[in-house]
């Protein structure tokens, strides 16, 4: 008999060689129907793997990420079989699951695949799925495995096998298909009920551009047709909300090949939007005791040698700029922290002066490969809403909580209600990996855990995920389409204070090292605007909108009255403009809707006569006829409702 411990702590005895599926069945038939994957003692296993020792078993269904991984990875096997059957002679390489679906990299020889071929492949895959073929793992010797792929003339699998230890090699069989595989499958192909191939792209073998080019086919699959339908609708919506598309339509930013890849150019409306975001955060930070600083865009190479950034990123980053005469070397600033350390070093501090909180909207430059660049989310130059807090170890607790308050204020004001947090701690088994004293680490980790608990965060703890220089807290926000984004990292740092020899005089009159906290609620303005665009579909909170209202005159006869209305709105600090084009009012309304202007103000004969305005709200429709004063109050109360002051 073996003892199996389940996640709820209960322990049950089973006969030796029982499988995870047997365990599921002993709990309930319903669970057995839904279990598609499992892990045993932290290792991925099949639901059919015989268990031969005592251990911890977790059963996964479609609702678990691990279940989805097994589902999608298994689907890649089904796709590979379909491709082999449809295009004999293709050479398989690797086929993993990804965050949403799966892909397989395949050498198709001279064949070029396009999305026109997808329906035939999908049909073949569904035919295989309906066969309810079991996924069966089997071990093979290295010689056998090599033999199998040499016969198929597949150099890719041969290369993979050559790098494996004899005795660890496994194959997965289903139906007539065999693949080299480490495991992690659903019980049988029949569980896959809906399949969609999404795209085809080029990919290099092992990601190396000097190696052969392969064809990567992306797909996704689901246990229900309905779920596929919902996913495709979500993809459609995501396309509509793509920040690159919206940024262009709303005239927020652009890129120029002359200026250079990955270097965004902010157009007037985008620049104004940025300024409002910065102003919003600056106000809150001022209240939270931060002081603004300004530092240059470059720094001496020596600065980054001291900080350690040069050793870490130097080779793979923008290379130093040389001065013409003395051949001094400067680097484009990849991070603001070294500059801020030197600001701290500009005078001696006593413990009574701390904490010091230096904030800067600092623009930094990091080299990204051109293939990695993506709209505003992956760029080569961006502005961080950066700040560094220098405090005593005893102040860490309080400071951490304050930073969390600020981050939550930013999320709340900008409509990110759905988020989780992750606390990353060091691996206690490997103390040699980390710098800083054991005592300080304990203090810092406890400070983060206390803060997360006290602020009622929904958080998970990841041991071993801390940076070598300190523990951290990350937030993951879920946007309106359910996609997750990492925002608002708070990082404790013992390394830079050491490297820059930062000190303060303690109450004992001796010099001590301060602790440093890096934090950026937005992360970078560029990426944040991109996420906000996709989250809100461009319908930003009213206080942030480029235009809050547009005045649409019914005909040119009412232009003068329209100008009068505009004037009075501007006097009340409402951002508005007037549309005097010689177009019908219907067309003007439609255009204003497309441009997502929150309020449309229609003026004609009656309005002019009564000194009123007719108001329409974006996406909602007619709000009736009111006075300009009532409209001003309406706007202000909406702003006050969404833009609350930061309470310290
Ligand atoms: Zn597999
Ligand atoms: Zn920093």
In the chain (648 residues long), the average pLDDT of successive 10-residue segments reads 94 95 95 95 93 96 95 97 95 94 95 94 97 95 95 95 93 96 95 96 91 95 97 93 95 96 96 96 97 97 92 83 93 95 97 97 93 93 97 94 96 93 93 85 91 94 91 94 90 93 97 96 96 95 95 93 95 94 94 94 95 94 94 94 88
Question: Is the pTM here over 0.85, yes or no?
Answer: no
Please state whether beta strands 194-204 and 213-222 pair in parallel, antiparallel, or not at all (unpaired): antiparallel
Q: Are residues 475 and 411 in contact, defined by beta-carbon separation less than 8 angstroms?
A: yes
Q: Is 486 a catalytic residue?
A: no
Q: Which tokens hold the place of 191?
A: 């569980």
Q: Which residue, 506, 511, 494, 512, is CA-closest to 445?
A: 494
* Residue appearing with tokens 């001590």: 512
* C-alpha–C-alpha distance, residues 412 and 415, integer Å: 5
Coil, helix or strand at residue 492: strand
Q: Which neighbouring-strand residues pair with 459?
A: 421
Rounded Cα distance between 470 and 506, Å, is 22
Element containing residue 37 per DSSP (H, E): strand 37-40
Q: Of 426, 513, 518, 527, which is the active-site residue? A: 518
Please answer whether residues 89 and 109 qualify as being in contact, where contact means their C-beta atoms are separated by less than 8 angstroms: yes
For the chain, how long is the longest CA-to-CA vector?
93
Tokens describing residue 14: 């089973």
For ligand 1, the distance from its centroid to the CA atom of residue 23, given in whole angstroms, is 23
Q: Which of 172, 181, 337, 341 is catalytic?
A: 337
Per the annotation, the verdict on 388 as an active-site residue is yes
Say what the pLDDT of residue 304 is: 93
Q: 386 catalytic, yes or no?
A: yes
Q: At what angle do helices 118-130 and 65-86 cross, to 10 degrees?
A: 110
For residue 321, the tally of other CB atoms under 10 A from its CB is 12
- CA–centroid distance, 642 to ligand 2, in Å, is 30
Q: Which ligand is nearest to the CA of 182?
A: 1
What value does the CA radius of gyration of the chain take, rounded to a whole number of Å?
Answer: 30
Spacing, Cα 70 to ligand 1 middle (Å): 8
Residue 361: closest CA among 270, 280, 269: 280
* Active-site annotation holds for 341: no
- Name the pairing type of β-strands 459-463 and 419-425: parallel
pLDDT the model gives residue 502: 98
Which of left, alpha, beta for 183 (phi over 0: left; psi -120 to 50: alpha)? left
The H or E element that residue 272 is part of is helix 268-287
Starting from the CA of residue 46, give the closest ligand: 1
3-state SS of 44-112 is EECCCCCECCCEEEEEECCCCHHHHHHHHHHHHHHHHHHHHHHCCCCEECCCCEECCEEEEEEECCCCC
**Is the separation of the CB atoms in 473 and 423 below 8 Å?**
yes
**Tokens 């293939």 appear where?**
371
Among residues 87, 83, 33, 90, which one has the least CA distance to residue 62?
Answer: 33
Query: Quick one: which of 377, 371, 295 has its CA closest to 337?
Result: 295
């Amino acid at each position: 008999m073996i003892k199996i411990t389940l996640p709820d702590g209960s322990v049950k005895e089973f006969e030796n060689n029982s499988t995870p599926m047997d365990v599921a069945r002993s709990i309930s038939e319903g669970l057995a129907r839904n279990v598609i994957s499992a892990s045993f003692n932290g290792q991925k296993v099949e639901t059919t793997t015989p268990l031969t020792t005592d251990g911890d078993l977790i059963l996964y269904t479609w609702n678990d990420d691990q279940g989805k991984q097994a589902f999608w990875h298994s689907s890649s096997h089904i796709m590979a079989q379909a491709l082999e059957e449809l295009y004999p002679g293709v050479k398989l390489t690797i086929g993993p699951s990804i965050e949403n679906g799966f892909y397989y990299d395949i050498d198709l020889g001279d064949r070029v695949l396009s999305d026109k071929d997808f329906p035939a492949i999908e049909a073949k895959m569904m035919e295989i799925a309906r066969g309810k073929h079991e996924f069966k793992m089997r071990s093979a010797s290295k010689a056998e495995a090599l033999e199998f792929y040499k016969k198929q003339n597949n150099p890719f699998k041969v290369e993979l096998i050559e790098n494996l230890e004899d005795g660890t090699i496994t194959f997965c069989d289903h139906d007539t298909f065999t693949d080299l595989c480490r495991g992690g499958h659903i019980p049988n192909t029949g569980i896959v009920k809906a399949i969609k191939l999404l795209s085809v792209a080029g990919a290099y073998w092992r990601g190396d551009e000097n190696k052969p080019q392969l064809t990567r086919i992306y797909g996704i699959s689901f246990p229900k047709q309905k779920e596929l339908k919902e996913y495709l609708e979500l993809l459609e919506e995501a396309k509509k909300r793509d920040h690159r598309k919206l940024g262009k339509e709303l005239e927020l930013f652009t890129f120029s090949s002359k200026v250079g890849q990955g270097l965004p150019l902010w157009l007037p409306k985008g620049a104004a939007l940025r300024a409002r975001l910065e102003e919003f955060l600056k106000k809150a930070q001022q209240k939270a005791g931060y002081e603004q600083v300004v530092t240059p865009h470059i720094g001496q190479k020596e600065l980054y040698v001291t900080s350690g950034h040069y050793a870490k990123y130097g080779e793979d980053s923008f290379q130093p700029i040389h001065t013409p005469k003395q051949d001094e070397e400067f680097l484009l600033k990849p991070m603001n922290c070294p500059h801020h350390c030197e600001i701290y070093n500009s005078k001696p501090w006593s413990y009574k002066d701390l904490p010091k909180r230096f904030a800067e909207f600092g623009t930094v430059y990091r080299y990204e490969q051109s293939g990695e660049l993506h709209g505003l989310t992956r760029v080569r130059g961006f502005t961080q809403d950066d700040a560094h807090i220098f405090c005593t170890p005893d102040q860490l607790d309080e400071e951490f909580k304050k930073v969390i308050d600020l981050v939550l204020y930013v999320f709340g004001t900008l409509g990110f209600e759905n988020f989780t947090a992750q606390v990353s701690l060091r691996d206690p088994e490997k103390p040699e990996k980390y710098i800083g004293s054991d005592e300080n680490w304990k203090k810092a980790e406890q400070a983060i855990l206390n803060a997360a608990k006290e602020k009622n965060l929904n958080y998970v703890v990841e041991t071993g995920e801390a940076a070598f220089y300190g523990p951290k807290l990350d937030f993951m926000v879920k946007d309106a389409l359910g996609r997750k984004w990492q925002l608002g990292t708070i990082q404790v740092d013992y390394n830079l204070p050491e490297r820059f020899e930062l000190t303060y005089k303690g109450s004992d009159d001796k010099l001590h090292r301060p602790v440093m906290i890096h934090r950026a609620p937005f992360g970078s303005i560029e990426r944040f605007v991109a996420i906000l665009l996709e989250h809100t579909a461009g319908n930003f909170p009213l206080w942030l909108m480029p235009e809050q209202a547009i005045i649409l005159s019914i005909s040119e006869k009412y232009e003068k009255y329209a100008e009068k209305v505009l004037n009075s709105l501007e006097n009340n600090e409402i951002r508005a403009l007037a549309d005097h084009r010689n177009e019908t009012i219907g067309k003007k309304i439609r255009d204003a809707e497309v441009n997502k202007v929150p309020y449309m103000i229609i003026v004609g004969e009656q309005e002019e006569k009564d000194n009123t305005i007719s108001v329409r709200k974006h996406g909602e429709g007619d709000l009736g006829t009111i006075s300009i004063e009532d409209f001003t109050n309406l706007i202000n109360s909406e702003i006050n409702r969404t833009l609350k002051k930061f309470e310290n």
